C-alpha cells in the first residue's frame, strides 16, 4: 500500500490526512509544533469551507467546536454608516460567516483521523529536507527532539504554509503580488450587544471588528505596509487612539475605555502569491504552501479545505492500489493543479482590488472612495458587487468530495 507523508497539520494538511487515511492509505502527518494552541491565525469559516467539512462527514463535530456566527455586517465610511446587511441565510439554518477556534478545529481533525489505523501523527517533527531517488521526491528528512530521521514515501504533500520548506526544496517558484498593507490583529472585551461584524473604511485605514468564538471582540486593523514600526514606537495608547479616530462614536468610546485590555497584538505581514507549478514528481503542495492567501475576504482556511477535497478525489484512485504507478500519480498531481488553479486565480484577483482603493493615500483616494460609496447605494451596482462577494462565500468552482 502507498505511504503519503503530509508536511504540516494546518487546515489543508490535517483535512487531507483525514481523507486519505479514511480510505486506507498510509498517512504520516508531520507537524513541527507540539500543539495547535498557537498565535492568532485565520478563524473565519464561510459557506465554502463549512460545506467542505460537511462533505467530509464532520458536520456534528464542527457544530461542537467553540464558534460564533455573527449576525450582521455593517460597513462605515469615515465613521459614517454606509451599509448594513444580515448575515443570516434565508433558511436561517446555515451560517454565512462563522468564527471557529482554529486550534480546536485542527485537534478535531486529527482526533477523527486517529480512528483510522493507517493514520500516524508525529508532533514536534520539523521537515528539513526532501529525499530523492531516481529523479523523484522519495521522502523527507525530519528532526524530532534533536534527532534526525528519514521517512520514505510514495508522495510528499507540502501543506506547510506560507514559508513552505517543501515548496522551496521542490524548486516550485511563485510570483509575488505585493499588497500595500499589513494587518495588526488584537482582541478586546466585546461590547454587550455586539452580535456582528463591522468594517470601518476610510482615510488610509480599514478596521474590521467581529464578535468571535471566545466571546471577545477580534480586531484586524489594516495599515499601510511598513508603518507598524512607527505605530509600535508610539505605544499602545497612541495606537488605540489612532483606531478610535477612524470609527463611529460608540465604538471609539469602547476602544478608549478598554485600551488597557488590548490582548495579543500581532502583526501579520500580508503576502499573496501562487506557485507556477503545484508539483514535481513525487511531491505536491496545497493550501498556503501552493498559494499564500491575502486575508481579504477570509479565504485562507476555506480554500485550504477545498484544496484537500480536490486532492483527495485525485489521489485516492492513484494511491489506493497495491503497486502505485509513478506516471498515474504524476498525472493525478497535474489534475489537482488544473482543477484548483481557476478558483485560486480568480479569488486572488478579487482580493487584490479592495486594498488598493481603500488604503490609497493618493490625492484621488478619498474622492474615489466617496464615489464608490455612492455607487454602492444603487441596486444594479450592489447586485454586481454581490456576485463578487458570492465568490468569496461559496467559491468559484464546483468542489465535491467523490471518494
Ligand atoms: C496571523 C494570521 C492571521 C490570519 N488571518 C486570516 C483570516 O482572518 N482569514 C483567513 O481566511 N485566513 C487568515 N490567515 C491565513 C490562514 O490561517 C491560512 O490561509 C490557512 O491557515 C492556510 O492553511 P494551511 O493548512 O495551508 O497552512 P497553515 O495553516 O499555515 O498550516 C501549516 C502548518 O505547517 C506547519 N509547518 C510549517 N513548516 C513545517 C515544517 N518544516 N515541518 C513540519 N511542519 C511544518 C505549521 O506549524 C502549520 O501548522 C491568517 C494567517 C495568519 C498567519
pLDDT for position 384: 61
160 lines ligand 1 (CB under 6 A): yes
Give every CB contact of residue 372 below 8 A, 6+ residues apart in sequence.
357
pLDDT at 169 over 70: yes
Cβ-contact 89, 96 below 8 angstroms: yes
**How remote is the CA of residue 393 from the centroid of ligand 1, in Å?**
20
For ligand 1, atom 51, name the residue with the nearest CA. 41
Spatial CA neighbour of 337 closest among 157, 100, 103, 74: 157
More confident site: 95 or 195: 195
Q: How confident is the model at residue 332, as a pLDDT?
A: 98
C-alpha Rg value of the chain to the nearest Å = 22
Tell me the torsion sign for CA atoms 297, 67, 92, 109.
Answer: positive
Using a 6 Å cutoff on CB, does residue 360 contact ligand 1? no
Q: Is 161 in the pocket of ligand 1 (CB under 6 A)?
A: yes
Tell me the C-alpha distance between 319 and 331, whole Å. 12
pLDDT-based confidence at residue 353 (cuts at 50, 70, 90)? confident
Q: What is the pLDDT of residue 360?
A: 60
138 near 153, Cβ under 8 Å? yes
Identify which of 10, 197, 283, 297 to mutate to test ligand 1's pocket (most ligand atoms within 8 A of the CB): 10
Sheet holding 98-100, edge to edge: 44-45, 98-100, 67-68
Q: Is 359 helix (H, G, I), strand (E, B) or coil?
A: helix
Mean predicted confidence (pLDDT) in 151-179: 92
Instruction: Please check the confidence at residue 126 and state whether its pLDDT lies above 90.
Output: yes
Confidence of residue 377 (pLDDT cuts 50, 70, 90): low
The whole-angstrom separation of Cα 389 and Cα 110 is: 31
User: What domains lie within the chain, and their CATH numbers?
Assistant: 3-39+101-176+273-355 (3.50.50.60), 181-224+226-268 (3.30.70)
The span from the first CA to the last CA of the chain, in angstroms, equals: 17
Nearest C-alpha neighbor of 157 from the set 313, 315, 303: 315
**pLDDT tens digits, residue range 129-140?**
999 999 999 999
pLDDT band at 295 (very low <50, low <70, confident <90, very high): confident
For residue 41, the CA-to-ligand 1 centroid distance in Å is: 7
Question: Tell me, what's the pLDDT at 3?
Answer: 96
197/70 Cα distance (integer angstroms): 6
Nearest CA to ligand 1 atom 1: 41
pLDDT of residue 230: 83
Closest CA to 291 of 157, 102, 162: 162
pLDDT, tens digit (0-9, with 9 covering 90-100), for 182-198: 888 899 999 998 989 99
Backbone angles phi, psi at 88, to 5 degrees: -85, 140
Distance CA 14, CA 161 (A): 12
Residue listed under C-alpha cell 503576502: 271
Q: Which of 63-72, 162-171, 379-388 has the lowest mean pLDDT?
A: 379-388
pLDDT value, residue 149: 97
Please choose, from the candidates 22, 14, 15, the residue with its C-alpha nearest in 3D space to the C-alpha of residue 116: 22
Q: Which of 33-47, 266-280, 345-359 has the highest mean pLDDT?
A: 266-280
At residue 176, does pLDDT exceed 80? no
Task: Write down the pLDDT at residue 42.
Answer: 84
Alpha carbon distances (Å) from 381 to 105, 355, 377, 387: 37, 19, 8, 10
Q: What is the pLDDT of residue 379?
A: 58
Is the CB of 12 inside a 6 Å radius of any atom of ligand 1? yes
Q: Is 295 in the pocket of ligand 1 (CB under 6 A)?
A: yes
* Protein residue with its CA nearest to atom 30 in ligand 1: 161
Looking at every residue in the chain, the average pLDDT score rounds to 89
Q: Does the pLDDT value for residue 167 go beyond 80?
A: yes
Q: How far is CA 186 from CA 21, 41, 104, 122, in A?
A: 37, 11, 19, 31
Q: Is the CB of 121 under 6 A from ligand 1?
A: no
Counting from 1 in the atom list of ligand 1, the atom nearest the Cα of 299 is 11
Q: Which one is predicted more confidently, 305 or 241?
A: 305
Amino acid at each position: 500500500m502507498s505511504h503519503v507523508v503530509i508536511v504540516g497539520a494546518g487546515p489543508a494538511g490535517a483535512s487531507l490526512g483525514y481523507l486519505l487515511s479514511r480510505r486506507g492509505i498510509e498517512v504520516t502527518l508531520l507537524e513541527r509544533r507540539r500543539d495547535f494552541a498557537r498565535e492568532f491565525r485565520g478563524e473565519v469559516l464561510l459557506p465554502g469551507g463549512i460545506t467542505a467539512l460537511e462533505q467530509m462527514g464532520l458536520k456534528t463535530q464542527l457544530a461542537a467546536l467553540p464558534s460564533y456566527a455573527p449576525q450582521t455586517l455593517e460597513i462605515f465610511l469615515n465613521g459614517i454608516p454606509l451599509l448594513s446587511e444580515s448575515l443570516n441565510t434565508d433558511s436561517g439554518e446555515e451560517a454565512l460567516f462563522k468564527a471557529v477556534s482554529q486550534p480546536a478545529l485542527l485537534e478535531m481533525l486529527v482526533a477523527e483521523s486517529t480512528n483510522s489505523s493507517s493514520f500516524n501523527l508525529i508532533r514536534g517533527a520539523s521537515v528539513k529536507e526532501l529525499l530523492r531517488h531516481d529523479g523523484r521526491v522519495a521522502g523527507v528528512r525530519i528532526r524530532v527532539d534533536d534527532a534526525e530521521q528519514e521517512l520514505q514515501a510514495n508522495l510528499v504533500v507540502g501543506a506547510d504554509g506560507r514559508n513552505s520548506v517543501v515548496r522551496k526544496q521542490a524548486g516550485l517558484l511563485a510570483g509575488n503580488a505585493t499588497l500595500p498593507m499589513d494587518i495588526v490583529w488584537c482582541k478586546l472585551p466585546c461590547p454587550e450587544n455586539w452580535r456582528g461584524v463591522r468594517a470601518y473604511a476610510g482615510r488610509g485605514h480599514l478596521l474590521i471588528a467581529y464578535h468571535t468564538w471566545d466571546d471577545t471582540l477580534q480586531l484586524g486593523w489594516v495599515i499601510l505596509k511598513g508603518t507598524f514600526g512607527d505605530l509600535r514606537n508610539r505605544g499602545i495608547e497612541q495606537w488605540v487612539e489612532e483606531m478610535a479616530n477612524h470609527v463611529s462614536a460608540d465604538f471609539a468610546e469602547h476602544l478608549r475605555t478598554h485600551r488597557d485590555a488590548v490582548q495579543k497584538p500581532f502583526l501579520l505581514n500580508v503576502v499573496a502569491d501562487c506557485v507556477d507549478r503545484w508539483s514535481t514528481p513525487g511531491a505536491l503542495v496545497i493550501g498556503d504552501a501552493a498559494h499564500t492567501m491575502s486575508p481579504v475576504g477570509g479565504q485562507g482556511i476555506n480554500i485550504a479545505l477545498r484544496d484537500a477535497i480536490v486532492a483527495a478525489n485525485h489521489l485516492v484512485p492513484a494511491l489506493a492500489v497495491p503497486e502505485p504507478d509513478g506516471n498515474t500519480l504524476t498525472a493525478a498531481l497535474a489534475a489537482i493543479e488544473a482543477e484548483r488553479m481557476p478558483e485560486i486565480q480568480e479569488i486572488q484577483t478579487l482580493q487584490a482590488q479592495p486594498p488598493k482603493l481603500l488604503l490609497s493615500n493618493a490625492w484621488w483616494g478619498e474622492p474615489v472612495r466617496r464615489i464608490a460609496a455612492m455607487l454602492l447605494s444603487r441596486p444594479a451596482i450592489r447586485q454586481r458587487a454581490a456576485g463578487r462577494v458570492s465568490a468569496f462565500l461559496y467559491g468559484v468552482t464546483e468542489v465535491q468530495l467523490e471518494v
